[in-house]
Structure 1
Amino acid sequence: MPTIMSSNTERWENGMPKFDTLIKGGTIVDGTGSPRFVGDIGIKDGIITDIGAGISGDASDVIDGTGKIVAPGVIDAHTHYDAQLHWDPYATNSGWHGTTTIGVGNCGFGFAPCHPQDRERYMQMMETTEQVPVNAMRTALGWDWVSFPEWIEHLKRVPKGVNVASYVPLNPLLIYVMGLEAAKSRPATAEERERMKQELHAAMDAGAIGFGFSYQGEHNTHIDCDGTPMPSDTMSREDILALAEVLRERGEGSIQALVDTPGARFGEIALEVARVSGRPVLHNVVIVNDFLPTYHEEVLALVDKAREEGLEIFTQTLTTRGWNEFKPMDWDIWNIIPEFREFTFAGDRAAKVAKAADEDYRTRLRNVYRPELLAPAGGPLEHYVLNDACGVAPWNQYEGKSVGEIAAAVGNRPTIDVFMDIVVDTNADSDFLVAEGMSFDDEKVAQVLKHPFTIPGTSDGGAHVKFWAGGQYSTDAIIWMVRETGLMTLEEMHYKLSAVPAEVLGLHNRGTLAAGQAADLFIYDYEALDYPRLKYEIAHDLPDGDWRRVCKPQGIERVMVNGETTFVNGTECTGATPGRLVGSGGADMDEQLMHPMAIAAE
């Protein structure tokens, strides 16, 4: 059994309680992979000062952890909470499920650097690609920054209930230096490339953890608001590698690269970036998909190949029992088929309904559609389940049935026509469920999660809020892989959920429970841990009263960020905002991000 990690056992220090918080008798899973043990944790000034058995000392808050798991806070490296933080300091859904640190700026999307004249365009991009409602952004962002260092200063001022690590997103960087049209149509000039490198240096000096980008050519489901690819998807490889050289020069930072999806395989670019940068590269994405049974094996083979070469490649998993619930107005994952993009970009509700009713459009769609084309995008149209027909006959009698089943029941009509009839008759307000984009194959998912260079996650938190909520991935992983199947130990799982992402992101004082580490943790009832399945809750909590889909936890009794409690009993918020901006430069950068004026004075 571990012993107390601090030699000072006095009950008081300088006339004050020794601890701000003392957790007594919890089952501690420290995130290192070491065996769990029953013990205590003492916290002072946001730091774990003591951990072990039999800790004594007074505390302002004593928590009885008897029978509960005490684990390091989840580090959710792949989110899009860049905007949502401005109206939701806790980055929910993730913050409810034990996440204490998030990464933003992923996939090349974000808001800095940005010239004032481009602000509206950036928000339109974020709405089109990540489905962050533009009205919410217009209401909440404030836009008191231009450069990336100014964005960092802005994030410091934003109240935060989670810690935030920010990549430099390459789409804004390209547009900032080259202009939108040039960024979409040609490589950078030598002068522009040098300026981008200087901007990245300045961003890293200010606290960025590296840069994030997507590189999917014409095949990304992330389509710009004008229907064309995003700049980074078609940018010059030489421009990407030039930015990778910056991290090599600095000897710090990491790179997030969305380069592999079932519909677009560009994994080799991740290896090129790792060779040039010499830094950790977080490859996206590895999934287990029953329609594409070898995809996950191919991605893991790529990672193994990179490691044999000495490259520091990790790949992030999308291996959760997740699902989508959507209205045709909001759904865009089918954009991998160009004809479906016509519906996505048709315009407002009336225009989309008119498109769905147009016989010429339907004919073209029938001619190109094959079920396997949507296998990488949540599953084929035939498998979409009709959740809600809005009371419209005859479709309301088929609620709970798939579109394929409905098509058979109404006389074997073409699937395309049945689906579009439902869209037209319900004014595009019908609601569908699709849960086949990710496999529920226990053994295959365990194979992916147990691989030494995978990281659970890809929650996409903050994105796709009209049809997706992924922040419960950590809760699901514990339930599925540990409690239900026994294919992983709890020690293995918490190592994966916290310590490994901390390593990749360069967060040197987070991810494990040990003396001197930040007191980011959550306490939960292992047997009671749960979440609703295949049914999101609707929350009308966006700045303008707009709605999103959410998934709340059960059995999580307390979440603590930097030693302060943010949630109790699942979703009861304390109102505390102890989150910090965190960097990848170790203690010095953490101190600079916390106390910039003091560092400048030195």
Structure 2
Amino acid sequence: MDLDLIIRNGTVVDGTGADRRRADIGVKDGRITEIGDLGDARATRTVDADGLVVAPGVIDLHTHYDGQVHWDPHLTNTGTHGATTVAVGNCGFGFAPCKPEMRDRYMQMMERTEQIPYEALRQGMPWKWETFPEWMEHLRSLPKALNMASFLPINPLMIYVMGIEAAKSRPATEDERAEMRRLLHEAMDAGALGFAVTWLGEMNNHTDFDGSPMPSDIMEIEEAYNLAQVLRERGGGIIQANTDIPMLRNRRDVCAELAHISGATVIHNVIMVVPDSTVHLDVLAWLDECTEEGLDIYTQSIASRGWTEFTVLNYTSWDVLPVFKAFTDQDPDGKAALARSPEYRQRVVDEYDFGPQQHAGTRFHEFTMIDAAGAAEFTAHENKTVAEIAADTGRSVTDTFYDILVASKLQAQFTHLTRFVYDEKLVGPVLQHPRVLAGGSDGGAHVKFVAGGQWPTDLIIWLARDSDQFTLEEIHAKISALPARVLGLPDRGTLVPGNAADIMIYDLDELGYQHGRYEVRHDLPGGDWRKFVDVRGLRYVLVNGEITFVDGVPQDPRPGALVTTAVGATT
């Protein structure tokens, strides 16, 4: 057989859970034809994988590449770290359906909810669609290096049917609910996975451009239950439901009711492992109860050794606390005025609550100042926490932080580690649960202070190579085969003959990335910047049989397809 590609002599970890084995892989027309000893078989191209691991490409269920795909077809840094398929439309946020007069408003929303810069969206998006089927056709037509799947996001749907003011102020009428059901049917006919929703009330850092809640956060929950009926009628689909903020908001009952009404798969967001808390154990016990009841619910984890780098000009994670949201809602001059204000500083002292702040990533006094931005009195204190600087200078923690902001003209940079995921002995058992999904990069979002696409690389080296929490066989089943099964994509996520040739090839000993500091890349439309994490040791990534990355460098082929749960194959 003449093949398009042969991967020779690799250590194949096929994602099925089977033991690794040394084998060749043949690829033809984007599909795996054979795995074994291919002997004298000929191919247009050969990859020598001797000493390398050959595994299925990663499937990232939680991204926001709805905008970035228009200017970055390789979806970096998620694609950089071995992802070959991503889902968009998560959290109920997105760009379709959208009436032409609302386009600017949607971009403003996405700048605040997901921190995708408005100017990048304005310059980078062609807006060739109005309806959701037109959006899907647009995604299908885009040259892209990764496969994409899409949920119908509930906020654009509600706004499209009801109008923005009505969507924020009243329940939908029965006629409007009927129209939303019709449009969801239409969207799923066009390949939508199902729908995505956030319902967290006003305690949410994903707010509208003016700081007010998004429609879905304050809607009647019947709007989501109404849509769940569509999946029951269709006999399948997926609901992504962001209803749980550990230690702050528990609406897991909503996920259970969505699963009950729909009879379909529900992806609950989110499970975190938080030190000194058993909240993750509560979620696992709830999952077991749901499974016993016959409900098909999975939970999406935030599980990698992540960190955040930020200035207060672009940081919104602390918006779970009203006192900090009052700061975020200001323009730069307003922020500077509050930073100087004794009254505002006293309000911070009075309202500062460690519990919600920990949800935002870490506690206020544990922010580390990594760049004083020329503030002379603080330069010597770089790489110390706010608490340490306060002790050194004889100030309170609150005064120290806001004095740094004033002295640096809001330009000082801080970082904090993600407190809830650094103990592998806590994280490993949670991820081993059969209904816990790994990762979730949030790729394409929060680009000024975080990049999360390195999560597969991190889990492989952290939990499989450098500890005994997972074998390679287990970790690849978790990051590829399981999400493929959840999305209803039987031809992806495992390396077996007939499946799509979505493959990552890496040197296990060399696999890594720069942990703790981001690279800054000025590659957004208009030359704007974002945070980025590169990869080491990942030799090749293939999508539909084409090599899309070599040693972390994007290649010319853009073989990505639109994939859909409707048929379980490329469309």
Shorter-chain TM-score bucket reads over 0.9
State whether structure 2 residue 329 is matched by structure 1 residue 345.
yes
Residue type matched to 1:397 in 2? A
Structure 2 Cα separation of the partners of residues 297 and 279 of structure 1: 24
Partner residue in 1 for 2:294: 310
| RMSD between superposed Cα atoms in Å | 1.1
Residue of structure 1 equivalent to 2:373: 390
d(CA) in 1 for partners of 2:485 and 2:508? Answer: 26
Report if the CA contact (8 A) 1:322-1:438 is conserved: no
- Maintained 8 Å contact 1:220/1:264: no
Aligned residue number for residue 524 of structure 1 = 506
Q: Return the alpha-carbon distance in structure 2 between the equivalents of residues 54 and 244 of structure 1.
A: 48
Partners of 2:39 and 2:307 in 1: CA distance:
44
Give the secondary structure class of the aligned counterpart of 1:270. helix
Q: C-alpha offsets along residues 504-525 of structure 1, whole Å, 9 cap, x if unaligned?
A: 1111211100111000001000
Match of 1:438 in 2: 420
Opposite residue 175 of structure 1, the aligned amino acid is I
Q: Which residue of 1 aligns with 2:558?
A: 577
Q: Are residue 193 (structure 1) and residue 193 (structure 2) matched?
A: no
Q: Distance in 1 between matches of 2:396 and 2:356?
A: 16
1:148-193 residue CA offsets vs partner (Å, 9 max, x unmatched): 0000111112111100000000010010001111111121100000
Cα deviation code 1:394-421 (max 9, x no counterpart)? 111110110011111111x221221111
1:416 aligns with 2:377: no
Report the CA distance shift for 1:215/1:56 in structure 2 as closer, same or farther (over 3 A): farther
Of 84, 90, 94, the match for 1:110: 94
Match of 1:179 in 2: 163
How far apart, CA to CA, are the structure 2 residues paired with 1:32 and 1:282?
22
- Note the C-alpha offset of 1:242: 1.2
Q: Deviation per CA, 1:327-370, whole angstroms, max 9, x where unpaired?
A: 110111111110111111111x2222122112222222221113
User: What is the CA–CA distance in structure 1 between the aligned matches of 2:354 and 2:302, rounded to whole Å?
Assistant: 22
CA distance in 1, matches of 2:183, 2:103: 18
1:221·1:334 contact (CA, 8 Å) conserved in 2? Answer: yes
SS of structure 2 residue aligned to 1:394: helix
Shift of 1:257: 0.7
Aligned residue among 27, 32, 57 for 1:73: 57
Could you report, residue by residue, the CA deviation over 1:213-267 in whole angstroms, capped at 9, with x for unpaired residues? 1111111111111211111112222111110110111112111111111222111
Look up the match of 2:68. Answer: 84
SS at match of 2:32: strand
The amino acid that maps onto 2:398 is I
Tell me the number of residue pairs that the alignment of Structure 1 and Structure 2 aligns.
Answer: 570
CA positional deviation for 1:575:
1.4
Q: Distance in 2 between matches of 1:505 and 1:373?
A: 32
SS in structure 2 of the partner of residue 438 of structure 1 = helix
For 2:219, the equivalent position in structure 1 comes to 235
Superposed displacement of residue 72, structure 1: 0.3
- Secondary structure of the corresponding residue to residue 538 of structure 1: strand
Deviation for aligned residue 1:314: 0.6
Residue 273 (structure 2) pairs with residue 271 (structure 1): no
- Alignment partner of 1:335 is 2:335: no
Instruction: Find the counterpart in structure 2 of residue 381 from structure 1.
Output: 364
Q: Distance in 1 between matches of 2:478 and 2:354?
A: 35
- Give me the TM-score of the superposition, normalised by structure 1: 0.93
Residue 496 of structure 2 aligns with an amino acid whose one-letter code is A
Match of 1:461 in 2: 443
Please state if 1:287 is matched with 2:272: yes
Residues 543-554 of structure 1 mapped to structure 2, 5 A cutoff: 543-554=525-536
Within the alignment, does 1:363 sit opposite 2:362 as a pair? no
CA contact (8 A) 1:74 1:497 kept: yes
In 1, the alpha carbon distance for the partners of 2:91 and 2:287 equals 19
Tell me the residue number matched to 1:537.
Answer: 519
Residue in structure 2 matched with residue 600 of structure 1 by the alignment: none
Counterpart in 1 of 2:542? Answer: 560
C-alpha distance in structure 2 between counterparts of 1:201 and 1:101, whole Å: 24
**Residue aligning to 2:471:** 489
Q: Deviation of residue 55 (structure 1)? A: 4.8
For structure 1, the residue ranges without an aligned partner over 5 or more in a row are 1-10, 12-17, 594-602
Q: Which amino acid aligns with 1:393?
A: A
SS at 2:564's partner residue? coil
Give me the whole-angstrom Cα distance separating, in 2, the residues matched to 1:87 and 1:40: 35
Contact 1:319 1:445 in 2 (8 A): yes
TM-superposed deviation, 1:561: 0.3
Larger displacement relative to structure 2 (334-343 or 73-82): 334-343
Structure 2 unaligned segments of length 5 or more: list them. none
| Counterpart contact for 2:492–2:499, Cα < 8 Å | yes
Of 109, 134, 159, 1:150 maps to: 134
- The letter of the residue matching 1:472 is Q
Alignment map for 1:254-269 (pairs within 5 Å)? 254-262=238-246, 263-269=248-254
Amino acid corresponding to residue 133 of structure 1 in structure 2: P
Pairing 1:217-256 to 2, within 5 Å after superposition:
217-256=201-240
Asked if residue 39 in structure 1 is aligned to residue 32 in structure 2, the reply is no
Structure 1 counterpart of 2:280: 296
Asked if the contact 2:203/2:321 (under 8 Å) is kept, the reply is: no
1:266 maps to amino acid:
R
Aligned to 1:38, the other structure's residue is in SS state strand
How far apart, CA to CA, are the structure 2 residues paired with 1:207 and 1:154? 12
Task: Write the deviation string for residues 104-154 of structure 1: whole angstroms up to 9, x where unpaired.
Answer: 000001000001111111111100011000000000111111000000111
User: Aligned letter for 1:573?
Assistant: P
Match of 1:122 among 96, 106, 111: 106
Is the 2:63–2:441 contact (alpha carbons within 8 Å) kept by the matching residues of 1? yes
Amino acid at match of 2:476: H
Give how far 1:582 is off. Answer: 0.4
Cα distance between partner residues in 1 of 2:356 and 2:148: 37
SS in 2 for 1:495: helix
1:4 is matched with none
How far apart, in 2, do the equivalents of 1:30 and 1:439 lie? 27
Match of 1:28 in 2: 12
The question of whether the paired residues in 1 share the 8 Å contact of 2:188 and 2:566 is answered with no
Residue type of the alignment partner of 1:574: Q
1:515 partnered with 2:491: no
Give the letter aligned to residue 338 of structure 1: P
Moved more, 163-172 or 239-248: 239-248
Structure 1 window deviating more from structure 2 (27-36 vs 258-267): it is 258-267
**In the alignment, structure 1 residue 400 sits paired with structure 2 residue 375:** no
Distance 1:451 1:216 in 2: 25
Once the two structures are TM-superposed, the CA of residue 372 in structure 1 deviates from its matched residue by 3.1
Evaluate the alpha carbon distance shift between residue 436 and residue 76 of structure 1 in structure 2; reply closer, same or farther with a 3 A threshold. Answer: closer
CA deviation digits over 1:447-504, x for unaligned, max 9? 1110011110121011101111110000000001111111111000000001110111
Deviation at 1:392, TM superposition (A): 1.3
One-letter code aligned to 2:528? D
CA distance in 1, matches of 2:168, 2:296: 30
